[in-house]
Structure 1
Amino acid sequence: MSFAPDAAEAATDALLQAIVKSERVAATFSAVCDGGSLTTWREPGRSLLGPSSSGPITDPVGTRYWAELHRLGEGIFADGGLDALDEANMHVVQMDPRHSDWRAMVLESVWFDIGRAA
């Protein structure tokens, strides 16, 4: 599937705004930050670094957001490789300076293995 970079970045921005506005969904994404340390999700809500999550994820909406963010990242990578993905990450983070640190951690976590998996 082909993505226009600007459209994918706008869609990513919109999803991150929705996550910030939804307290319930934001709980799924709170595992991203462990005292400011980046965590890495291999699947929604499961971090390899940082806090451990016990039990299944009980937030299907948050899980759908995670999957959509990952799909958008895969589309950006498919169209432009790692450079495009890194550039999109920087642009999306800068779209909301108030939440830029959180956005950077979320995108790094969700997009970590795209194009880098062995």
Structure 2
Amino acid sequence: MAGNLEHAVLRRARAALAEDATDALLNTIADGEAAGSIFSAVSAGGILTTWKEPGRTKLGPDFSCHFVNSVDTAHWAGLHRLGEDIYATGGLDALDEAIMHIVQLAPTRADWRSNVLESVWFDVGRTA
């Protein structure tokens, strides 16, 4: 019984760290010069799309018209990895809770954050 409690506490601490890291990365991206060009593809006319991983074929917006550099690729990979970490701590419920929490950390950017996270984490825990 105590082992289960300790395990749950450790999982929640790991998820909290990933949420904090996601918040920091989103702030970096939003404050950077590429935020407009790269993330405009995330939401096309208010309709959620899937942010395609640079260099891979997945459903989502076409980045061929955008300049995708190693920093942009690193941002995508970092956000995706953090989503996978959160998923590992508690599945899709933990991922949904994390999105709600992270979005609330920056109310003025809530819509943007929600679109980005829903898009980047679209396939986390859902692939075969």
Structure-1-length-normalised TM-score: 0.86
Amino acid at match of 2:63: S
The alignment partner of 1:113 has SS state of coil
Q: Which has the higher strand share?
A: 1
Same amino acid, percent of matched pairs: 57
Q: 2: distance between equivalents of 1:25 and 1:102?
A: 10
Instruction: Note the 1:26-105 alignment, pairs <5 A.
Output: 26-44=36-54, 48-49=59-60, 51-54=61-64, 57-105=67-115
**What are the ranges of 5 or more consecutive residues in structure 2 without an aligned counterpart?**
1-10
Deviation (angstroms), 1:57: 4.8
In structure 1, the partner of 2:4 is none
Gap regions ≥5 residues in structure 1: none
Q: Quick one: structure 1 residues 42 and 54, their matched pair in 2 at CA, closer, same or farther if it must change by over 3 Å?
A: closer
Q: Residues of 2 paired with 1:115 and 1:82: CA distance? A: 7
Q: CA RMSD in A?
A: 2.3
Number of equivalences: 116
Change (3 A) 1:89 1:56: same
The aligned residue for residue 11 of structure 1 is: 21
Q: Would you identify which runs of 4 or more consecutive aligned residues in structure 1 move more than 4 Å?
A: none
Taking structure 2 as the reference length, the TM-score comes to 0.79
Deviation at 1:27, TM superposition (A): 2.0
